[in-house]
Amino acid sequence: MKISEFQNIIKEIYYEKDKKRGIDGTFRWMIEEIGELARSIKKKDKKKQEEEIADVFAWLCSIANLLDVDVEKCSKEKYFKTCPRCKKIKCECKE
């Protein structure tokens, strides 16, 4: 599945609820999911990590839908084949 296909599925399922909740409320939900991902990483729970990564990505797509941003397009434009900062295929940026 392409990222754009996933984003469209999320839009079909959740856009109306997300629109009513608004960008701030939707963003807060994503932050809550990021916290759940952090806890799953700390616990080293692989199954929960996979679930939470999927949730964070879904909420990110919801926010993108509210902002009318194409996740696939903007990601490809920024990260296609090289690091956007050092322009290398394998990042050589200092941390």
Query: Domain-by-domain residue ranges, the chain?
Result: 3-79
pLDDT category, 95, cuts 50, 70, 90? Answer: confident
SS (H, E, C) 16-62: HHHHHHHHHHHHHHHHHHHHHHHHHHHHCCHHHHHHHHHHHHHHHHH
Each residue of 11-47: pLDDT tens digit? 999 999 999 999 999 999 999 999 999 999 999 999 9
CATH code assigned to 3-79: 1.10.287.1080
